[in-house]
Structure 1
Amino acid sequence: MDAHRDEGAPDALLLHDVRLVGAPDPRRARDVLLRGGWVVAVADRGTLPAPAGRVLDAGGSALLPGLRDEHVHLSDWAADAHRPDVSGAASPQEAAALLAVADAARGRRDDVLVGRGFRDGLWQEAPRAAHLDAALPGRPVVVASQDLHSAWCSTEAARRFGVTEPTGLLTEGAAMALLGDAGRLPEGLGDVWTLEAAQAAAARGVTAVVDLQRADPWDWARRADVVRPDDAPGGAGGGGPALRVAVGVWREHLDAVLAAGLRTGDPLPRATDPVAADRVRVGPLKVFVDGSLGTRTAFCRSAYAGGEEHGLLLTPPHELEHLLRRATSAGLTTAVHAIGDAGVRAALDGYEAAGCRGRVEHAQQVLPEDVPRFAALGVTASVQPRHAVDDRDLADRHWAGATAHAFPYADLLAAGADVVLGSDAPVAALDPWDALACAVHRSVDGREPWHPEQHLTLRQALTASCGGRSHVRVGDVADLVLLAEDPAGTLERGGPGALRSPEVLGTLVGGRWTHRAAGLGA
């Protein structure tokens, strides 16, 4: 997601009377000059010459670097807004009943009913096709688990999509393939929904995402040329998303990406709009080492509660080393999914054997002796703080006795690791403020903090959400967010809940507005 100079960016914009969040003197009134998509000057209020007609009087609002969500599945997140949610169900019967109500309300019987969000890790009974058949007889129904690592289908859906598993419950690769087939949308609709989701993220202050959607990377080249009207945020005839997108490469597309000579940071070919081509670029290679906690497929040193299973090692060590070497030598960065402690160790071993740097996605359970290896190997921990509070009961049950080294954010930072934050949307909401609040408070819905010794300070969490930038400086790309109030003040005044709902006045990507609240000038 590195920025490149945008020759078509607005020539200059002066942000007058702002307070720099995270700066040594955050209450000092400043002016910030943007030119060509970059921050070119920061000075005391009233001391910079104003470019003609391009001045925004920010009225003392707070300015911070743009927020980045380092792990999303953007098309899944967009589609889930249109699917019935069963995440609150406490049993398969309750989930099936919720789907039946939703299906009746839809009034359409000619398509597949795709639901989302079942969480069976704490259910007393496993979901089966029979539960869906009883509530929705004869209907093709496919339901994604909250963690996207399981899929639950009815008998009719199994027949239609060639599922041979008699229970109707699939995991990992088989589940992801079924969800891809069942969730296929009419041509163009998925693009519209995805771009709308990007715009909604911009309204929350997001300026960049790493999109690890399982899809053809060239899908984003097509979206990049979807033109927005001149009066839309970031419009002026520009195309593509309202934020920067680093497009992840899954293993099945690796050969095609390498054959095209593409490296991480390159614009995707076929995108012709210059603004969009700057924003939509090649991201990392995505590799799975293990599964998930919710599906009990994360690879763990200790067996899961009530059984002898340790989860799944999805990519053997020699294969992982080969993939890391191949990608790195071709100029691609890498993102290795690893959740269980044995999976995280396997990922770190792979990086050490390959002699390259990269990222571990999730790192939900890390053995104490592996914590310092992140910094030593130059491996970034890409974590999702909402998972720590959503999965606490699952962890207490299935990782009983091992939660002391679960979601160890403070330990990783203390050991010198580079830690970045994300959502894993749609597993959690694509909302950086929720992630920040979860990282700082380790709680949600008024519950007592879970392992509060692993919380981050607000400053640490903001830096981890802003691509490592602690505050706005000269030489930064002009990916910026204007808030009505410094988050520190919001937290002090309103407590934990207030941090989740700041007033976002404006968002800039490369000096172009992608979101402006009503009444904000320039």
Structure 2
Amino acid sequence: MTRRMIVDLILKNANVITMDTNNKRASAVATKWGKIFAVGKDSQIAPLAGSGTRIVDLGGKTVLPGFIDTHNHLSFYGYLVSSVDCRAVSGVERINDVTDRLRAQADKTPPGEWVMGWGYAHYHLKDNRPITREDLDRASVKHPILLIQVSGHAGVANSKALEVFGFAGETPDPPGGVIRRDPATNRPNGILEESALLNQLQAVFFQHFMAWPLEKRVHMIETAISHYNRRGITALHEAYVVPQALHLYQEMERLGRLNLRIYTMNIDYAAPALLDAGITFGYGTDMVRVGPIKMFMDGGMSNRTAAVSQPYRNSNETGIFLSTREDTFAKFERFHAAGYQIAIHAQGDAAIGAVLDAFENVLGRTSKNPLRHRIEHCGNITEKQIQRAADMNLLVSSQPMFLSHLGDGFLDAFGPERGHRLYPYRSFINHGIRLAGASDSPVAPADPLLGIRDAVMRLTGSGAEIGPEERLSVSEAVQLYTSEAAYFSFDENRAGTIEPGKYADFVVLDRDITAIPPREIADADIKMTIVGGRVVYEK
């Protein structure tokens, strides 16, 4: 006698959008052992239930594959989320609002300890000028204060922080960075760009991170993951992983406290340890897997440190290269030969050109790109560069929500003509380039619905259009965070669509986002997030 298979979970009376190649829809889905067991009609799935099956009647709600964020700074977000929120969306309108919030935090912090703020953008402030050391000194001179600009590629330090960093009038700019100065005195004015900020921020972060007991570090990541689960995220690519972070994620999986899948993007300066230990690309489990080597070629566009071929608007500056051509070529050759995927940050067209040269050096002018090397962000790419990338089958991981979150800063930096050519998503797809969606959180909110909306609408925060001819359809935009995103981590046979045998990773929405006006997509309510058949968020 044949035994009937009893499943663990059934979602029924649902609008299941499978995102498979036929864009099939169903009304029910069953899971077993963390995988999708069956997809079909309610009547087809009902016989699979037993006494131990959890059955959820969704009352017509929509089920999509769990969202995948292909570029996210999980550990850094976990660290900053407990810092002072200085984003415009949090109610900050003027410089005084920023200093008032930092002062309030300083009043609760012992003198000499760090006060951190994040998410500030001067072009969102009514003052419309950069914050400087003198502004932050009004918040406190007894505490070192570091305020991170929204792009993550620039920040502001008060006098006490500059003293801790050892930055004075005679301090030279570090390679790949700029210490901005008062032209009258040559003293640092507090504004730090690229390596001048990032080297110091990394030191402060790891000073705190490694000093904390394991439980505090685990709780920090758990809190961040819970925020992501509430937005339907079931997997992410962690875009700046060092050995300490990798160990923490593995420990969280061992403890049963990891509620999303992590594909690590291992920062290049720590990568030799992986290679020397013989750890191969893709090593790991269903929950934590070693992914690409992450590199940086330039900075950010809204703060004008991306390396561009033409000066920024009303400026003679063309951004900052964070790596030399020779160093980039050498690293590409080593990592490619070792069988590792390469993921490199490149925003400005000058940086993208150098990156394409480096990829061509290891792939040739045309390639099937078997390791699926990828460019991260790829905002200011030219038409000729798009064709070069397509010829090498390079992948692009990009952030549609930058358009609403940072778009006004982009238009300010590039002007309207150049600004409308940024993030040319339709052109990527028309050229056959695989494109995936991401947030770059904490730079932008880790909210795939926001990214889907912005890939379709292409509006800035103020309502200005950015390249309307580059809009995607809603279905294409959803693919950026599901089926296309899965391809970037070699998971197309494990995730990204709702089909038997794949991970039972789902997001349940209160409405069908393919059947509403695009402007309403980000207003859809996440009702449930499921990872491996386990409900990790329920509203």
Q: How high is the TM-score relative to the length of structure 2?
A: 0.82
**Structure 1 residues 280-311: Cα deviation after superposition (integer angstroms, max 9, x where no partner):** 12121111111111331101110122332211
Q: Contact 2:20–2:499 (CA<8 Å) still a contact in 1?
A: no
Residue 138 of structure 1 corresponds to: 142
Is 2:106 the partner of 1:103? yes
User: The residue matched to 1:47 in structure 2 has which SS?
Assistant: helix
1:82-114 Cα shifts (integer Å, max 9, x gaps)? 21233336776664344224433x354351111
Secondary structure, in 3 states, of the residue corresponding to 2:85? coil
One-letter amino acid of the structure 2 residue matched with residue 61 of structure 1: K
CA contact (8 A) 2:111 2:142 kept: no
Please say if residues 508 and 515 of structure 1, whose CA atoms lie closer than 8 Å, have aligned partners that are also in contact: yes
Which residue is equivalent to 1:70? 70
Q: Within 2, Cα distance between the matches of 1:129 and 1:384?
A: 31
Does 131-140 or 327-336 show the bigger shift? 131-140
Partners of 2:123 and 2:321 in 1: CA distance? 20
- Alignment of 1:179 with 2:201, yes or no, is yes
State the SS of the aligned residue for 2:79: helix
In 2, Cα distance between equivalents of 1:481 and 1:125 = 41
Aligned residue type for 1:50: L
Q: In structure 2, how many angstroms separate the alpha carbons of the residues matched to 1:471 and 1:284?
A: 23
Q: In the alignment, what sits opposite 1:255?
A: 272
Distance 1:62 1:169, change over 3 A: same
Give the 3-state SS of the residue equivalent to 1:328 in structure 2. helix
Q: Give CA deviations for 1:212-260 in whole Å, capped at 9, x if unaligned.
A: 13x5234232343348xxxxxxxxx952421001122112211111122
Tell me how far apart the structure 2 counterparts of residues 94 and 381 of structure 1 sit (CA, whole Å). Answer: 37
Q: 1:373 to 1:511 in 2, by over 3 A?
A: farther
Distance in 1 between the 2:397 and 2:21 partners?
27
Separation of aligned partners in 1, 2:24 and 2:237: 32
Q: 2:409 aligns with which of 366, 387, 394?
A: 394
Residue 222 (structure 2) pairs with residue 195 (structure 1): yes
Q: Name the SS of the counterpart of 1:385 in structure 2.
A: coil
Q: 1:438 to 1:162 in 2, by over 3 A?
A: same
Aligned AA for 2:354?
A
Take 1:197 and 1:94, find their aligned partners in 2: how far apart are those partners? 25
Deviation at 1:408, TM superposition (A): 0.8
Q: Does the 8 Å contact 2:406/2:461 carry over to 1?
A: no
Q: Quote the residue 2:525 is aligned against.
A: 503
Q: Is the 1:133–1:139 contact (alpha carbons within 8 Å) kept by the matching residues of 2?
A: no
1:212 aligns with 2:215: no
Instruction: Quote the offset at 1:392 in angstroms.
Output: 2.5
Partner residue of 2:381 out of 356, 363, 366? 366
Deviation at 1:133, TM superposition (A): 2.2
Letter in 1 for 2:265: G
User: For residues 357 and 538 of structure 2, what CA distance do their matches in structure 1 show?
Assistant: 46
Equivalent of 2:248 in 216, 222, 225 = 222
Aligned match of 1:514: 536
Equivalent residue for 2:115, pick from 113, 116, 122: 113
| Count of residues paired in the alignment | 484
Unmatched segments (≥5 aa) in structure 2: 1-5, 172-186, 364-368, 487-495
Task: Indicate the residue corresponding to 1:488 in structure 2.
Answer: 514
The answer to whether the 8 Å contact 1:67/1:205 transfers is yes
Contact 2:112–2:142 (CA under 8 A) maintained in structure 1: no
Q: CA deviation at 1:68?
A: 0.5
Residue 38 of structure 1: how far off its partner (Å): 2.5
- Partner of 1:461: helix, strand, or coil? helix
1:56 counterpart residue number? 55
Query: What displacement does 1:135 show?
Result: 3.9
Specify the alignment match of 1:272 in structure 2: none
Matches within 5 A, 1:224-373: 224-226=250-252, 239-267=256-284, 277-355=285-363, 356=369, 357-373=372-388
Alignment check: 8 A CA contact 1:217 1:247 kept: no
Matched residue type, 2:63: L
Q: CA deviation at 1:198?
A: 0.8
Aligned-residue CA RMSD in angstroms?
2.7
Q: Which residue of 1 aligns with 2:181?
A: none
Per the alignment, residue 234 of structure 1 pairs with none
Q: How far apart, CA to CA, are the structure 2 residues paired with 1:328 and 1:479?
A: 31
Q: Displacement, 1:18? A: 2.9
Amino acid at match of 2:116: V
Distance 1:262-1:365 versus aligned 2 partners, 3 A rule: same
Counterpart residue identity of residue 423, structure 2 = F
Ranges in structure 1 where 5+ consecutive residues have no aligned partner: 1-9, 228-236, 268-276, 518-522
SS at match of 2:87: coil
Residue 366 of structure 2: aligned partner: none
Q: Provide the secondary structure at the position in 2 that maps to 1:256.
A: helix
CA deviation string 1:41-72 (max 9, x = no partner): 32332124314222424343322211011111
Distance 1:220 1:153 in 2: 30
* 8 A Cα contact 2:404 2:461, kept in partner: no
C-alpha separation in 2, matches of 1:28 and 1:283: 32
Q: Give me the whole-angstrom Cα distance separating, in 2, the residues matched to 1:144 and 1:419.
A: 28
2: CA distance between counterparts of 1:444 and 1:169?
25
Does residue 128 of structure 1 match 2:143? Answer: no
Aligned residue in 2 for 1:45: 42
Query: Counterparts of 1:369-448 in structure 2 under 5 Å?
Result: 369-400=384-415, 401-443=417-459, 447-448=463-464
Offset, 1:26: 7.6
The 2-side partners of 1:313 and 1:170 are apart by 15
What is the alpha-carbon distance in structure 1 between the residues aligned to residue 281 and residue 141 of structure 2?
Answer: 48
Distance 1:54 1:121, change over 3 A: same
CA distance in 2, matches of 1:74, 1:419: 21
Residue range with higher mean Cα deviation, 72-81 or 436-445: 436-445
Residue identity over aligned pairs, in percent, reads 24
Secondary structure at the counterpart of residue 487 of structure 1? coil
Query: 2: CA distance between counterparts of 1:125 and 1:464?
Result: 35
Please tell me whether the aligned partners of residues 437 and 480 of structure 2 are also in contact (alpha carbons under 8 angstroms). Answer: yes
Q: Distance in 1 between matches of 2:330 and 2:307?
A: 20
- 1:478 corresponds to: 504
Q: How far did 1:394 drift?
A: 2.3
**1:320, 1:350 within 8 Å by CA — same for their partners in 2?**
yes
* Compared CA separation, residues 315 and 41, structure 1 to 2 (3 A): same
**2: CA distance, partners of 1:23 / 1:266:** 27
Larger mean Cα displacement after TM superposition, 350-359 or 40-49: 40-49
Conserved? CA contact 1:121–1:295, under 8 Å:
no
Deviates most, 86-95 or 362-371: 86-95
Supply the distance in 2 between the matched residues of 1:419 and 1:514 (Cα, whole angstroms): 28
In 2, Cα distance between the equivalents of 1:17 and 1:87?
40
Write the distance in 2 (CA, Å) between the matches of 1:26 and 1:331: 34
